[in-house]
Structure 1
């Protein structure tokens, strides 16, 4: 098909653990010569085999039987846990490393942004690196000069363009690298999780540029742990797990499968069994409920999260202070602090239940962790330190996320704590 710009067929990649080559140039040459003659590897120990279909011993398959294709103008999201093989796949597509077996067909030039500083010479200035990267992509000096001012303006580091890039911060590296990759007009643009280094404003700018690039008929491959950005940007997605493609297809379905697969406990009930430092109070369990009061930790965009914390106090404890924090993979998002909010139960004694409800969760779809802490009536003495008491999975549809249709990436995640309401309640 003429509109297919990238096709991957039966792609495998194997690495040898702990070693590079055979250890000596002589052994590497002997292995290479034997391979040319179709003979067995002469460096193998007795009883070993070079059958690459076996996954054991000193070898590991980073990728196994990868097959997919991408059409012109499509934006493909690639998601999965750390170690799933995403970066290895992109390195092979970028020709940084070669596959063990399999074939890759590409049409047009490929520009990659894989790691901070990849493709930049540290001793050269930003200006010189722009021309170097353009030359690598096969562009002429005149072509690069036409784009130069646009690249510098987009990067926002014009003041430092004649400074050697070894003096750049990681954020400056990413700004310039993305500007170069996006503006030198490659037919295929490959972006790894490097955008996480940039600030929220620059992430929004980059995601907007990627949309613009795809609208011009160029193809984008985008790896990210930010499910909101993937949903906002990508028309199709691939979910990778343990070096294989676990699921691929329409973005919302793939993201939903990934989020459910990575959230082990969907029951909404978490056994804690954590005691305070002096042993007088034990936190037994938490129960998570949605807006309808159903016990679950699988929530939708805009839903309420009610956390019921069950505990037992051996002695009467006057006016204790509680707090709940919500965190994403990027860090703290929102917190409820009973001391600051002026809500304090008169006491807890025996069995007790404390309820805190976070209303209208306008957060990016992903897994969030809930932490709990407890202090005495003064608020100055910690009874129970920062303790994980559960997690919840937030999913959504494009319609439910219309609120943030014009705000990409983690920007909504930054704004959302200021839009969130919560309330405390002592059940008994």
Structure 2
């Protein structure tokens, strides 16, 4: 397959707090250099793009030295934390904004779906916006008319197609925008996280359409999402962006596993001891084998250290087992009303035993909740702790044909509460 999109040494720098260089003369110098294809004369060294830290620089590199190629018909997934630079990269690829350094080379039309309502004039009707978007993408009116009925039907907005889009909900706007971008036959379709605004039915429909575009029509898709299940299902290559740089390029399943492992918190749970509210101090997963490796179908138990600084009623503790795609596969809970325990201040050792959980082979973690079951006040919510891995021995049954992310079978979980010595 031929290369349809290529990014060479792409970097993007922003000045924090202000727009422009500060003077009209310097702004003119910057624009003149851009017209001549030269490097911005006012580029600064700048700081690394890490949103979690207070910057001491006036300039920040949102992207730094990005290089990759995309082949025709390829579906490229792009993931990373919020603020990593994903949307900035898509805006550069879509020519919404220009890079500070580097160049984008592409063949054919690029259709972008970056934000809710991008490219729409909200005083115009849905039908008029279809023609407007098509014209922006370089389509002839006759070509848009030929696809019009198909676009409207796919969007599911037939009843409101002659209503101004300012009266559309965000979900309806995304439906129509995606329908336009997908049906006007761009060579490259760029889709940001906006599909998350749509309902489950439309997300499934949109993913199916993107698969048809890439596999059936040989077109290229660039897809950014925080939904790891969608990334694993749709893409055939993955980029991971961290602090403005590409840290991984390759197989999506391997990349997703690496990304989730990097993002996991340690098993040390964060809590505020001075708040006077109850909290889970630690968690332990008791697996059959060492190094947190568990065998399929064997007994599995979880231990929690609960601290109650004060007397309290209506306390509820629950946890979910989360798979590699960040999908909860089971939910377990316990209420003090059921056991009539941990109402007095003190330390409590909670044990949840599962006699025969049939978890699919793979990596798992826990998400823990602590709240008041009556007032619904949330005391604690902790993600990505208690990591463990489920494996299956070759001597056990191997005729299971389950898909990743499928439901699991759990026999009754047994809870036990002991005073903590």
Give the TM-score, by structure 2 length.
0.78
Q: Given the superposition, is the C-alpha separation of residues 303 and 128 from structure 1 closer, same or farther in structure 2, using an over 3 Å criterion?
A: farther
Greater shift after overlay, 218-227 or 283-292?
Answer: 283-292
Q: Is 1:322 paired with 2:312?
A: no
Alpha-carbon contact 2:189-2:220 (below 8 Å) kept: yes
SS, match of residue 349 in structure 2: strand
Within-5 A mapping of 1:20-39: 20-29=19-28, 32=31
Counterpart position of 1:310 = 305
Greater shift after overlay, 138-147 or 188-197?
Answer: 138-147
Q: Give the alignment partner of residue 354 of structure 1, picking from 326, 341, 350.
A: 350
Alpha-carbon contact 1:231-1:252 (below 8 Å) kept: yes
CA distance in structure 2 between the partners assigned to 1:61 and 1:253 by the alignment: 28
Within-5 A mapping of 1:334-345: 335-339=331-335, 343-344=338-339
Q: Given the superposition, is the C-alpha separation of residues 330 and 346 from structure 1 closer, same or farther in structure 2, using an over 3 Å criterion?
A: closer
Superimposed CA distance per residue, residues 139-183 of structure 1 (whole angstroms, 9 cap, x where no aligned partner): 222211221111111111100001111111100110000111111
SS, match of residue 232 in structure 1: helix
CA distance in structure 1 between the partners assigned to 2:39 and 2:190 by the alignment: 38
CA distance in structure 2 between the partners assigned to 1:300 and 1:110 by the alignment: 48
Counterpart position of 1:423 = 413
Q: Is 1:9 paired with 2:34?
A: no
Counterpart position of 1:198 = 198
**CA apart distance, 1:212:** 0.8
Counterpart position of 2:235 = 234
Alpha-carbon contact 2:321-2:365 (below 8 Å) kept: no
Alpha-carbon contact 1:325-1:332 (below 8 Å) kept: no
CA distance in structure 1 between the partners assigned to 2:400 and 2:105 by the alignment: 36
Alpha-carbon contact 2:314-2:374 (below 8 Å) kept: no
CA distance in structure 1 between the partners assigned to 2:119 and 2:321 by the alignment: 34
SS, match of residue 413 in structure 2: strand
Q: Give the alignment partner of residue 370 of structure 1, picking from 363, 368, 371.
A: 368
Q: Is 1:388 paired with 2:411?
A: no
Counterpart position of 1:220 = 221
Q: Aligned Cα RMSD in Å? A: 4.3
Q: Given the superposition, is the C-alpha separation of residues 94 and 33 from structure 1 closer, same or farther in structure 2, using an over 3 Å criterion?
A: closer
Q: Given the superposition, is the C-alpha separation of residues 308 and 348 from structure 1 closer, same or farther in structure 2, using an over 3 Å criterion?
A: farther
Alpha-carbon contact 1:74-1:218 (below 8 Å) kept: yes
Alpha-carbon contact 2:351-2:416 (below 8 Å) kept: yes
Structure 1: stretches of 5+ with no match in the other structure: 42-48, 406-411
